[in-house]
Amino acid sequence: MQKKLIAEFLGTFWLVFGGCGSAIFAAAFPSLGIGFLGVAFAFGLTVLTMAYAVGGVSGGHFNPAVSVGLTVAGRLPASQLVPYIVAQVIGAIVAAAVLYLIASGKADFQLSAGFAANGYGEHSPGGYPLVSALVAEIVLTLFFLIVILGSTSSRVPAGFAPIAIGLSLTLIHLISIPITNTSVNPARSTGQALFVGGWALQQLWLFWVAPIVGGALGGLIWKLVDDRD
């Protein structure tokens, strides 16, 4: 169990450091910014790479909503759910702390720029309201779980799941960065919100509730589709 929790810590750290780091440092870099497309691929690549690196140890969740969905689907023992979530949240917070340490070294650094935090309303990149954010996060997390459960099914050739999962997360970001800055992951949202504070902490509840509801629904729907895994 200790090895599983270390793997979840490392995987979530890499997801936040790589994904949020790309948004903070590279998305709008003068003349050479990677933009939304680059950030979307960065998040997908973090999951793909760490799923191959440590997925064989812990299952490669790196996300409390994924752990909830896998528990609902019967893939993760309920007794392991809370320890998994704790490891994931700690990994995200440590990654956010390292990002802050790096970013704050620049003279014009300002947390008010967002620090890749998730938000809705005036804090949504596209100005989308609470209801839009809630629906998007639930639906996208739901389908993320279906992809995860399907691609890791015993009926699918082994070894390809990280590719499908990583590309799925890329697609999710391509859809929803303008809506919420894309969460679908309560741990990822928590780490950034703790450093931004204020509005980010006030809106953090949505980025726990919506992904967990979506993850649980995804697990339930998968059991209806294929309950023999």
Dump pLDDT digits (tens) for 13-62. 999 999 999 999 998 866 768 999 999 999 999 999 999 999 999 999 99
Q: Return the pLDDT at 62.
A: 98
Residue 184, both tokens: 């679908």
> In angstroms, rounded to a whole number, what is the distance separating the alpha carbons of residues 119 and 27?
18
Q: What is the SS3 assignment for 155?
A: coil
Q: Give the contacts of 222 (CB within 8 A, at least 6 positions apart).
A: 73, 145, 146, 149, 150
Residue 66, both tokens: 């994924």
Fold of 2-225: Glycerol uptake facilitator protein (1.20.1080)
> In angstroms, rounded to a whole number, what is the distance separating the alpha carbons of residues 23 and 5?
27
> In angstroms, rounded to a whole number, what is the distance separating the alpha carbons of residues 70 and 64?
10
> Using 50, 70 and 90 to split pLDDT, how confident is the model at 114?
confident
Q: Are 58 and 71 in contact (CB under 8 A)?
A: no
Q: Return the pLDDT at 226.
A: 82
Q: Which pTM value belongs to this model? A: 0.94
> Using 50, 70 and 90 to split pLDDT, how confident is the model at 227?
low
Residue extents of the structural domains in the chain: 2-225
Tell me, rounded to whole angstroms, the distance of Cα 24 from its chain centroid.
Answer: 16
Q: How far apart are the first and last CA of the chain?
A: 22
Q: Return the pLDDT at 55.
A: 95
Q: Return the pLDDT at 107.
A: 86
Q: Return the pLDDT at 156.
A: 82
Per-residue pLDDT reduced to its tens digit, 136-163: 999 999 999 999 999 999 888 878 999 9
Q: What is the SS3 assignment for 34?
A: coil
Stretch 96-100: mean pLDDT, rounded? 98
pLDDT at 229 over 80: no
> In angstroms, rounded to a whole number, what is the distance separating the alpha carbons of residues 65 and 212?
5
Q: Are 58 and 14 in contact (CB under 8 A)?
A: no
